[in-house]
Amino acid sequence: MTDISKLTIATARDLLRKGELTSRELTDSYISAIEGADALNAYVHKTPDIARAQADAADARLKAGDAPDMCGIPLGIKDLFATKGVASQAASGILAGFKPEYESTVTSKLFGDGAVMLGKLNMDEFAMGSANESSVYGPAVNPWRAAGSDAALTPGGSSGGSAAAVAADLCLAATGTDTGGSIRQPAAFTGVTGIKPTYGRVSRWGIIAYASSLDQAGPMTKDVRDAAIMLTAMSGTDPKDSTSADLAVPDFEAALTGDIRGKTIGIPREYRIDGLSPEIAKLWDDGIAMLKDAGAKIVDISLPHTKYALPAYYVIAPAEASSNLARYDGVRFGHRAQLSAGDGINEMYEKTRAEGFGPEVQRRIMIGTYVLSAGFYDAYYNRARRVRTLVKQDFEQAFAAGVDAILTPATPSSAFALGMESADPVQAYLNDVFTITVNLAGLPGISVPAGQDSKGLPLGLQLIGKPWEEGDLLNIAYSLERAAGFVAKPARWW
Ligand code: GLN
């Protein structure tokens, strides 16, 4: 069997093309790895039969010399993506039994290129959360453990299953989505790479909506090169998503020269938040030094509206969610409650929604409905939208002054214990302080594993780029990755 722990998309692609490996061998290795990893609860629907059929088809294409980069590459797919004929539940009870009749644009692009689907991956319910605790399937578990402890840690959220699966070698890469940090935070917590592209770079069609003006899909991979390869395959305009941008998709892998001499990297002073852990502060300083050594110019910048971003997000995202989730009413999709004699349509809606949605989703729907209500719309929703514009302008001013990318920590801590998020949801919202501004401004952001804390847990640095400049961003991330030299893997306990 192939030693899958050493492979990346890039190395597997080259072996597949040379005929030194078949997609079927590779896929079978992953299927058996997944069978032995139920303790991680990363996969919530396994699709080995589909995977084997796709692998055989990919091998035929490889033999015929018609093989795009993703051909034969085994992937995990976040449960938020509609996959034709395969359960797609957004980890929610309300979508129990839902098997879409259609394929999301992202998965059809990937499968069209010959990629293989190993199964659907765990996540927070409707992508609401930072710890994968709100999943109807129970949390995914981080393959990493703190030194000397066997306590279960969160892989982060909402793309927790994707992060755990990539870190534990249960796929070569995974799809994720990011509304406020859900690709970058779990990537940082598990020592993998995750990029949220510019809003509009990747089609949202067929991705179950959380907050439509913030949601973007992106790859979660073992390294920056793989992120570049997979992002190229996922990107592009789509007539079915009017917010997808009509822009040519560059070959992002070709942008990886590693030469960042002359680039200007901004360090935003507002991200040195009160109580920033000394370990995170040191990681950030180390990252600054690495980019400087590589020839970048480091400048201090100010993003003055940063402190208003989190509250604005927790108005805008629930507002959009309350509207998007109105469609789950027991009529069209998934679950419908058992009704009693005398129940009418209102009881049907109420009982279905009360049973089908978990507590975090219900909280968001209530917040969203409240901030959109006639008496409070101006005070909350409209004000949050104005704050959003100011946050965006902060970034625009920094870029206009010559900054090419911005370096920040990805998260305020390393992976925390499972159970903490449910204990204090408001505290959990603070997890996204460094990532949420990027979604509000629609910018690309990438998390790169850059070090380990004193307990041996991975830590990530975030780079934020200019709109549509993912190639440049990936190249700066590539330079940081090479300097950081993060190669640690979780010790296997599962
Ligand atoms: N943790 C944030 C939230 O709960 C972000 C989640 C996401 O990016 N999907 O809304």
Cross-strand pairs, 463: 407, 446
- The reported pLDDT for the residue numbered 479 is 98
The residue whose CA has the least distance to atom 5 of ligand 1 is 180
Give the Å distance between the CA of 431 and the centre of ligand 1. 9
Cβ contact 158:127 at 8 Å = yes
Share of residues in the chain with pLDDT > 90 (%):
95
- Judged on CB neighbours under 10 Å (0-12, 13-18, 19+), 49 is exposed
pLDDT > 90? residue 427? no
Give the Å distance between the CA of 129 and the centre of ligand 1. 5
- The reported pLDDT for the residue numbered 426 is 79
Tell me which residues are annotated as active site. 78, 158, 182
pLDDT, tens digit, 9 for 90 and up, residues 122-151: 999 999 999 999 999 999 999 999 999 999
- Taking residues 73-94, report their average pLDDT: 98
Give the Å distance between the CA of 348 and the centre of ligand 1. 29
Cβ contact 9:26 at 8 Å = no
Ligand 1 environment, Cβ below 6 A = 127-130, 158, 178-182, 210, 317, 432
Give the Å distance between the CA of 428 and the centre of ligand 1. 10
**Quick one: pLDDT band at residue 429, thresholds 50, 70, 90?**
confident
State pTM to two decimals. Answer: 0.98
**Quick one: pLDDT band at residue 159, thresholds 50, 70, 90?**
very high
- The reported pLDDT for the residue numbered 276 is 86
Lowest mean pLDDT across 84-98, 174-188, 220-234, 424-438: 424-438
**Quick one: pLDDT band at residue 1, thresholds 50, 70, 90?**
low
Q: Probe ligand 1: pick from 132, 159, 179, max atoms within 8 Å of CB?
A: 179
CB atoms within 10 A of CB 454: 10
- Taking residues 225-235, report their average pLDDT: 98
pLDDT > 70? residue 355? yes
- What integer best gives the mean pLDDT of the chain? 97
Which residues, at least 6 apart from 344, have a Cβ–Cβ distance to it below 8 Å?
none
Give the Å distance between the CA of 316 and the centre of ligand 1. 12
Length reported for the chain: 494
Q: Which residues of 317-349 are buried (b: 16+ CB within 10 A; e: fewer)?
A: bbbbbbbbbeebbbeebbbbbeeeeeeeeeebb
User: Among residues 282, 156, 167, which one has the least CA distance to residue 223?
Assistant: 167
